[in-house]
Each structure stands twice: as structure tokens, then as C-alpha cells.
Amino acid sequence: MRAWLLRGLVLAVVHAAVQTGEAWVRAGNPAAIGWLRPTALGVLVGVAVLWAGLDGWLGRERYGMVWFKAALLAGPVGGVLGVIGQGLFVDDTGVEALPVAITGGAAFIALLVLVPAGIGLLIGRTARPVGDKPSVTSER
């Protein structure tokens, strides 16, 4: 499986799970929004930073483009999966929420993957020991 496909699909599922869990908690406790939203964003950002940081630390070449493609995939797929999850587990969210999920929501999700992944790649590359040669792994 291509690296960008795996990363994009996993992060789309993580985003959908976090979005559904957030909606479920908000439905039961509307006052929880003060701590819930930053925690949810922190989980999403943390997964992208750690995974991309590992890629950078391992010295994988051309993984900036891999993460760019992964973000483009994770955006719309995560938005659609989030709407499906909310509709199945939380409330009566239906097809009317899809246009927002695959436009503005998808762009937001893509940025939540791309920006932390870029930071993670940078941190991972700088954390590698000096003289450590990068691996020859490349994405096609």
C-alpha cells in the first residue's frame, strides 16, 4: 500500500472517531466544550506530529509530498466519515451535512494534517543523530 494512502486513511478514521466522540460528549454535557475542543484538536495534531516526526527521524526521503497527499485524502474522507459516525452514533445528522463536510470541513482537516506533519518532519529530521544516513525509502 502506498505510504500516503495509509497515512491519509488512518488520519481520516482518527479524525472521524474524534469528531464523533466530541459530538457524543457535547450531546450529553454541553458545558464540556471548554476542555473538549482543545483536547480533540490536540489528539489530531499529536497523531500527525508523532507519525511525521517518526518519518523524519528515520530519514525517509520525499516524505513531505507523501504527507501532502495524505492530507488531501484525509480531508474529504475524514469529513464524510465524521458525518456518517455522527449520524449513526450521536444524532440525526444526515445527508444535509455532507456539503459542509466535503468543502470547508475537508479543508480544515487537511490543514490539521498538513501543518503538524510538516512540523513533525522538521523536528524528526533535526532530532536524528549527526552522521546518521537517511534511509533509501522513496515514495512512487
pLDDT per residue over 66-97, tens digit each?
A: 999 999 999 999 999 999 999 999 888 888 88
CA distance 117 to 98: 26
pLDDT of 131 strictly over 80 = no
Which position has the grid cell 485524502?
A: 73
C-beta contacts of 135-139 below 8 A and 24+ residues apart: 135/58, 135/59, 135/60, 135/61, 136/61, 137/58, 137/60, 137/61, 138/60, 138/61, 138/62, 139/2, 139/3, 139/4, 139/62, 139/63, 139/65, 139/66
Helices 3-28 and 33-57 sit at what angle, rounded to 10 degrees?
170
Which of 13-17, 89-93, 135-139 has the highest average model confidence (pLDDT)?
13-17
pLDDT per residue over 31-59, tens digit each?
A: 888 888 899 899 999 999 999 999 999 98
By the 10 Å C-beta count (0-12 exposed, 13-18 middle, 19+ buried), 51 is classed as: buried
Measured in degrees and rounded to the nearest 5, phi and psi for residue 61 equal -80, 150
Rg (CA), the chain: 17
CA distance 21 to 5: 24
